[in-house]
Amino acid sequence: MRIAILDKERCKPRNCGTECIKYCPKVRSGDETVVMGEDGKPVISEELCVGCGICIKKCPAKAIMIIGLPDKLEGQLTHRYGDNGFALYGLPIPSTGRVSGILGPNGVGKSTAVKILSGQMMPNLGSKTTTWDDVYKFFSGSELQDYLKRVSGKSIKTSQKPQYVDLIPKAFKGKVSQLLKRADERGMLDSMAADLDLTNILDREISDLSGGELQRVAIAACIMRDAGFYFFDEVTPYLDIFQRIKVAKIIKKMGEEKNVMVVEHDLAILDLLADMVHVAYGEPGGYGVITHPKGVRVGINEYLKGYLPEENIRIRPQPIEFDVKAPKEQKDVEKLIDFGSFSKTFEKFRLDVKGGQLRKREVVGIVGPNGIGKSTFAKLLAGVMDPDAGKLDFKVKISYKPQYIKTDIDMSVRMFLRSISPKFDTSYVRTEILLPLQIERLMDCNVNDLSGGELQRVAIAACIGREADIYILDEPSAHLDVEQRTLATKVIKRFAENNDVTVMVIDHDIYMIDLLADRLLVFDGEPGVSGEVHGPFEMREGMNRFLSSLDITFRRDEETRRPRVNKPESNLDREQKKIGEYYYLPQTE
């Protein structure tokens, strides 16, 4: 079975010679395999196409995909966006009494599935003449048949938390309390404000909130609506690990009596809050397949391995692997700088740094709650501000990627990266940065038109593309799917090793820190009041110090060696806390 996909946003027939028509061998032999449609864009006949791939190579805009699909997907098409449009196969199944997760890369139809489940659109089964009766017949005998009948009959109400919470201030003007009172259909404003630490910001304007505050407000608003189906699209971006675990527990408890579905790329949190997962796979922008539900551990492990035994399909050439052991001490690595103790005092906040050493060719993970001074520390190192006590007498260049990426750059990605450094035109940068970060297809797109994940990858490339001694990336995992996080991790680690530089990564995704970091800087204190910087420590010492402040323990999964959060008060949790090993028991490494 074969489908043809045309990205109509990339396709610009006026700027090319319609190479897809001109060079198609079937067109040359007289068939109408590729014709110009009513909208001025080409239409590819999937019945006549032989899959030679010439149109793919000849298209200057790289707007065509010809994809071979397993024959068993024939007759399972759930929705298609018109001729040569994205195709979705399968739907996740909402289930009362347990939290359902959806795990998969960006661009394979997770949002489309949710729009169908929430009643925003009817699954067209690939036909322009589909009716709801056709849909009921298609899903007859499954749990989805009854659910979709209720959706189409408007007897089920849905509540959704959007993915990009930074867009909320554009849609709502006013105070936090006004937004939450409007959403509070279950009479739980006070309890939810307390649970999500929103009490102190209720009188603030929505436009003045940070990303983490917006995220918690959006989660609260979603939960407080009286609905039959709740959907959370990425609950972790901008939240620190403390807040992530708190949100996971709230959603987990909510799922005991409600239909709850979550899309999440932080696997430690998904593992903690979900009872089962649907694995989504496919070609981003081309097609997506959503599997039947799997146990959360089985689903995550199969996704990481890249092979789904039940479906008998390989979704990735190589598995995502985790180091069997925490990175070893690197005694022979050349140091970059030594820094002594120093401090910085503001009107309502004080940061104290104990001093330490940064080495070349290493990645230092930075962990700690939000509002604890991590960005202030970066600015002090960079010389953007001076300490009040102590002295920083070294001169190092720092390249910094901020946590919140805001841009009004009206130029192409290619021109933007060239404006940062001419080396973006070199084959080395193309091979080591642009291709692994999947930026090649974005080079001719306008920066203002990029999605959150696309903008994040461009920002990572821009940061490590500058000439510097220390590179600091603040939450590079935000809006990236699991595979993109893995690719970004490899790029960052290889960049540090090959260029005699130090990379510092601030992130709350324990999986990414575990894959990436050689050592850890640990921030603790009282957020918004005082912060202390300790380290860098070797991984075991640093993670034990950090996880003990969270009061959680980790173990390695027996199959994939990935980090997993132990259930509170389980035998293993109590055993590890008793001996002070919060990271992993040494024998599991």
**93-114 tens-digit pLDDT:** 888 888 999 999 988 998 899 8
Q: Indicate the pTM of the whole model.
A: 0.85
- Return the structure tokens found at 380: 């002090």
At residue 585 the predicted structure's pLDDT band, cuts being 50, 70 and 90, is: confident
- Answer for the pair 424, 417: CB distance below 8 angstroms, yes or no: yes
**114-152 tens-digit pLDDT:** 889 988 899 999 999 999 999 999 999 888 999 999 989
Instruction: Flag the least confident range among 254-263, 403-412, 478-487.
Output: 403-412
At residue 211 the predicted structure's pLDDT band, cuts being 50, 70 and 90, is: confident
Mean pLDDT is highest, among 357-366, 374-383, 507-516, 576-585, for: 357-366
Question: Among 397, 351, 400, which Cα is nearest to 378's?
Answer: 400
pLDDT computed for residue 363 by the predictor:
94
Across 64-89, average pLDDT: 92
**511-548 tens-digit pLDDT:** 888 889 999 999 998 888 999 999 899 988 999 998 88
User: H/E/C letters for each residue in 137-168?
Assistant: HHCCCCHHHHHHHHHHCCCCCEEEECCCHHHH
pLDDT computed for residue 589 by the predictor:
53
Amino acid occupying residue 285: G
d(CA 416, CA 381): 26
pLDDT computed for residue 326 by the predictor:
47
**How buried is residue 231: exposed, middle or buried, by Cβ count under 10 Å (0-12/13-18/19+)?**
buried
Per DSSP, helices labelled H in 360-412 are 374-382
Q: Please state, as a whole number, how many other Cβ atoms lie within 10 Å of the Cβ of residue 587.
A: 6
